[in-house]
Structure 1
Amino acid sequence: MPNITRRTVLHAGLSLPIATLPALNALAAGPYDEAQLQPGPLPQIEDGSFTVAVLPDTQNYCERAPDGFYQQTKWLVEQKKQRNIQAVLHLGDITNRNTTEQWQVAQKAMRQLDGHLPYFFVPGNHDYSNGGGARDRTSLLDNYFPVSHYRDLPTFGGTYDREPESMLNSYHLFSVGDRKFLVLGLEFGPRKDVIRWANEIASKHKDREAILITHAYLFHDDQRYDWKQHGDKQRWNPHGYPLAKTGNQDVSDGEELWNGLVSQHENFILTLNGHVLYDGLGRLSSKSPDGNTVHQMLVNFQMKPQGGDGWLRLLEFRKNNTIGITDYSPTREQINASPQNNFTLELT
């Protein structure tokens, strides 16, 4: 068992059937009851720091509130210099229904970053199949975010070797000063052979600090998704989706990704995922067998008004080997200073 650090979350410790939890959550008074909202602007970053920005689940922007998505990426470009932003990570569920109209919104929003900031992304369950039903692994993603658009960028590493013309699985490289990073972006519920490929990439770049982005990894109870132990008590596990059932369960959840990939390498420092509702937040720090601490975070704001109220997660990498986490909304011009939304991680 890895050593873990956990925090208390809404509903934790309640001995209630899992089916009652969404109802309890719906009865909570409002989307900001546990928030500690403070007016912006953000404080200056520390000398020598740089920022990696996180865009979780933009599906509701694409379906009904596109301006929020447009404003997020516009703000990131405007803040590039002031916050020393080095990369933007999208955690999947780019769209809600995998439709042409919604992919056009996503393309317009993300292309605002072109020529300004490197950005890396993964598909979520809503990005698969007609209507976003995740019945199989067909997606319109490559029509709007083709490999050809990224292949010649200095940060582009490559794609899954058996699907070289698809961005559903990709890796990227960037450096800041003497720090070198690898970002592995894996599909929703990665297939076993995709994990084989990911292990090869992580080993090839073992001199880089590695970050895994994938759509479903950590649940809101601060535990990794674990179908073998919890089954559907942890709702929305990849194993419970039609694409798993039609694909002979060739999917991987968080525990399988931990055991089969993340814990096998000394260089992983972070995992990031969206997907999960309830409070949309989770945090877990685990030690791999070699003693390396890996911080794992769930962050999802799609339950907020207007598709997510513009909330972003900003990771400030500091010289003292810590990461300062701040959730900020450029549309509300507010910081959420709640301990779940504003905290510091120490790197090994």
Structure 2
Amino acid sequence: MDETPAAPQDPLPADRARVAGHTAQLGVKVEDAADDPLSVSFYKARRYDLAESGHVQAYAHATDREPPLEKKPDGEAAWTPQEREAVAVRDGRYVIQDEKDRFPYHRFSFEVEDALPGDAEVVWTGHSLPDRLVTLYVWNHTQQKWEDLDANKGTKDFTLHGRLKDEHVGDGRVEVLVQDRVPSPGDYDFAFLWMTDTQYYSESFPGIYDLMTRWTVDHWREKKFHYMIHTGDIVNNWNSKPEWENASHSMKILDEAHIPYGVVAGNHDVAYDAGNYREFWKYFGKERYIGQPTFGGDLNNYRDHYDLVSVQGNDFIILYLGWLIDQRSFDWANRVLKKYADRNAMIATHEYMKPNKAYYGQGKEIWEKLVVPNPNVFMVLGGHNPGVAHNVRTLGDRTVLEMLSNYQNGPEGGQGFMRLLQFDLQRKRLLVNTYSPYLNQWNFFKPEEDELVMPLKLKPIEKQVATDYVGIYARTLEQIGRTEKTASCSRASVTYTGLEPGRTYAWYAVARDAFGGLSRSEVWSFQTEKRQ
């Protein structure tokens, strides 16, 4: 149990209250987890925020990088009086900066003394959008760059704190910047997993199939997986009950772990050109997937379907097209892609291209009828033909990634090789790796065929900085008064004397127990009334 005293709270006078006379009775409520009596000290302080006209300048802007290189980037817009008033106190009113293509920020320039007291901090309260990181920066005059002091994320308000040092003060000012920032998790931000043509595992090597899905579950968090794709030929013989049961058992490992994924039928699953979906529907129909949080909709009992996936502010639609795509399916797919035109679209189908990179089967038709007319499509995945291939195609300013991946002709039906599609947002690239958990081995083919670095151009992400309050707390060691042996859950009070009319006085309190534990309050203030 943490036995540190709680931070003093519930100030009297109330924060920013008006006080008459030359004295003020200061009071706080204190509490100790161990119910120890507390010593409570009251000190003078200084608070700099937008409630003080003229001492703080505020600006809004957005840049193509975070943080900006300059202390004062060109193109900033000064806040209006209404915006300044909204951020003067914590009151649930916000100044909101929304952006898609760039990183929005709020910058504040505080006029302070040349030397702040040793205990000074900048505080910011606000929020952003889901999975967006808000970072608090202060300009370091020695290093001539923005120095990050704190960060957090969330759609509900949180407070960032940054301890100020001498190098943060220049020409009597402290420069503060709060910016929407991309989290930096390492070489890539998140990943999708892609398996295909598992028919020989279902037929002869079910242990490998089980191992693939079990590895997926066990490494889901470590590998930053957020979704898994299967592009068909789940079984080898469409009417083999043991094969369907083996496949269903392997994929059930994902179901039981609540792993979001989608599958699509290949020719082996539906009796080739007969298009018999009877067994596919029995084991992998809509009923199996409708409860998944990513399930978006379907056509004809999951024959064609789509999932909606959102990761770190990036919205995807994964559109699955089953074997034998008729005009009804193309029309449905076009409606879906247009309905979700604001999402990054991936098409997953069984056959699309050959190892020589040429279109195969209905590949050209998919390109012409779906990829070209829908500018949100940025990737097409297919299997069917043994081997691997990839294309990077351009349509105006669009980049479309096409990939074939199929290891079924290798030993033991492919030996469990799968593809990891790893999204590196900051460097705008897709890192593709190929791995077998069965062999614990990377790459089936040559590295240049199984390890790819492809350009990535996703739709702009909504970014936001919403500021409710920003200020600098400068705590001095000039004591106003002190109480001893104040009981936990009671109030401590001292008298502040020598007050002058028409002035603002800031203060804070420190609660200490007999064992060295202490906690500080926020900085509050009151204003004395002017002489009549």
Within the alignment, does 1:90 sit opposite 2:230 as a pair? yes
Distance apart, 1:153 and its partner CA: 2.0
Task: Deviation per CA, 1:28-53: give whole Å up to 9, x if none.
Answer: xxxxxxxxxxxxxxxxx825511100
Match of 1:246 in 2: none
Instruction: Give the structure-1-normalised TM-score.
Output: 0.74
The answer (yes or no) to whether the contact 1:127–1:134 under 8 Å persists in 2 is no
**Inter-partner Cα distance in structure 2 for 1:127 and 1:136:** 9
Q: More helix by proportion, 1 or 2?
A: 1
Match of 2:278 in 1: 139
Secondary structure in 1 matching 2:439: coil
Corresponding residue of 2:130: none
**Match in the other structure for 2:441:** 334
SS of 1:81 mapped into structure 2: coil
2:243 aligned partner:
102
Q: Distance in 1 between matches of 2:409 and 2:188?
A: 35
Counterparts of 1:23-34 in structure 2 under 5 Å? none
Q: 1:117 aligns with which of 232, 255, 259?
A: 259
The alpha-carbon distance between structure 1 residues 96 and 134, as it changes in their structure 2 partners (threshold 3 A), is farther
Q: Residue 201 of structure 1: CA displacement?
A: 0.4
Q: Is 1:148 aligned with 2:287?
A: yes
| Matched residue, 1:271 | 380
Kept in 1, the 8 Å contact 2:233–2:269? The answer is yes
Whether the 8 Å CA contact 1:127–1:139 is kept in 2: the answer is no
1:196 aligns with 2:331: yes
- 1:35 counterpart residue number: none
The answer as to whether partners of 1:223 and 1:284 remain within 8 angstroms in 2 is: no
Out of 248, 257, 272, which is 2:366 matched to?
257
Picking from 304, 324, 337, the partner of 1:169 is: 304
CA contact 2:275–2:324 (8 Å) conserved in 1: no
Aligned to 2:268: 126
Note the C-alpha offset of 1:188. 1.6
Asked if the contact 1:50/1:85 (under 8 Å) is kept, the reply is yes
Bigger relative contact order (CA 8 A; separation at least 6): 2
Q: Which runs of 5+ in 1 are unaligned?
A: 1-44, 226-236, 238-252
- Matched-pair contact (CA < 8 Å) for 2:260–2:293: no
**TM-score by structure 2 length?**
0.49
Does structure 2 conserve the Cα–Cα contact (< 8 Å) formed by 1:97 and 1:126? yes
- Preserved CA contact (<8 Å) 1:272 1:298: yes
Tell me which amino acid in the other structure corresponds to 1:110: M
Identity %: 32
**Alpha-carbon separation, structure 1, partners of 2:406 and 2:193:** 13
**Aligned partner of residue 278 in structure 2, secondary structure:** coil
Distance in 1 (CA, whole Å) between partners of 2:276 and 2:237 is 14
For 1:228, the equivalent position in structure 2 comes to none
Which 5+ residue runs of structure 2 have no aligned equivalent? Answer: 1-184, 458-532
Separation of aligned partners in 1, 2:371 and 2:243: 32
CA offsets 1:86-125 (integer angstroms, 9 cap, x no match): 0110010000001211111111111111133101111000
How far does residue 149 in structure 1 lie from its aligned partner after superposition? 2.2
Q: In terms of Rg, which structure is larger?
A: 2
- In structure 2, the partner of 1:309 is 415
Task: Output the amino acid matched with 1:333.
Answer: N
Looking at structure 2, the residues matched to 267 and 142 of structure 1 have their Cα atoms a distance apart, in angstroms, of 30
d(CA) in 1 for partners of 2:243 and 2:354? 26
Measured in 2, the distance between the counterparts of 1:80 and 1:206 equals 29
**Corresponding pairs, count:** 268
The alpha carbon displacement at 1:138 in A equals: 3.3
Are the aligned partners of 2:349 and 2:382 in contact in 1 as well (CA < 8 Å)?
yes
Distance in 2 between the 1:146 and 1:224 partners?
28
User: Contact conserved, 2:308 with 2:316, CA < 8 A, in 1?
Assistant: yes
For residue 338 of structure 1, report the CA deviation from its aligned partner. 1.1
CA distance in 2 between partners of 1:77 and 1:152 (Å): 19
In structure 1, the residue matched to 2:296 is 157
- Residue 151 of structure 1: how far off its partner (Å): 1.3
- 1:151-208 alpha-carbon deviations (Å, 9 max, x no partner): 1321000101xx2xx1111100010011000000001231111010000000000111
Contact 1:85 1:117 in 2 (8 A): no
CA drift at 1:68: 0.8
